[in-house]
Amino acid sequence: MAETLRDLVVSLSLQSDNFTRNIRSVNKQIQEAESFFKLAAAGVENFEQSTAGLDARLTTLQQKLSLQREVVDQYQRALQAARDKLQECYDRQGDYANRLAEAQTRQSTLNTLVAEAATAYADCRARLGESDQATLDAAAHLNELRERYAETTDEVRKLAGQCDALQRATQNAADAVSTGNSNLNKASAAVKQTEAEIDKTNQALALSNTNWRAAGESIQA
């Protein structure tokens, strides 16, 4: 179980590192796309209101939207992975809780048997003496029960530690699900905002083209 927990932690760490790198890479691409628009607008008065500026802005927003949708997809997959991991932790926690309960029951039973065997040995020794075969058999039986009790006690200790580790892993997985939901909501909101900006830019661009056509017709007239 210790190896399984360690492998689980390493796996989660690697997945987290890779996911973080992917999100960071996409965000840098978004920043790069926006920087090109700022460069094109630099030194040009009212560039954003011009037809060329609106075209450039629309292109930038479309690139941004595509990248943001990629972020949403990554967050969706990360959230599903977190949910799967949480379910796995719950299942393992329940399994080991049952094992611990069974081991504790065996421990309690053996504790009672050890006490009874100790009483029987003391009775034999008092009545028959140390060297009598019945006393020797009672001593051997007592030692055997004590060894089994010690083994079961060690098992209970290990299982209790594993249950504590799984409880922490479950809490971490639950936190990861909460974080995943929050990140996905933010990313989805960013997509909606960009879509609204695209609609607004399309409307401004259509109005700008209409004005240009009207101006051209006026000049011809």
Query: In the chain, where are the structural domains located?
Result: 16-220
Class of the domain covering 16-220: mainly alpha
Using only C-alpha atoms, what is the Rg of the chain? 36
Digits of tens for pLDDT over the chain (221 positions)?
Answer: 444 444 444 344 435 556 677 777 777 777 776 776 676 666 566 666 677 777 888 888 888 888 888 888 888 988 888 899 899 999 999 999 999 999 999 999 999 999 999 999 999 999 999 999 999 999 999 999 999 999 999 999 999 999 999 999 999 999 989 988 998 999 899 899 989 988 988 888 888 666 555 555 555 55
| pTM of the complete model beyond 0.85 | no
User: DSSP letter string over 147-205?
Assistant: HHHHHHHHHHHHHHHHHHHHHHHHHHHHHHHHHHHHHHHHHHHHHHHHHHHHHHHHHHH
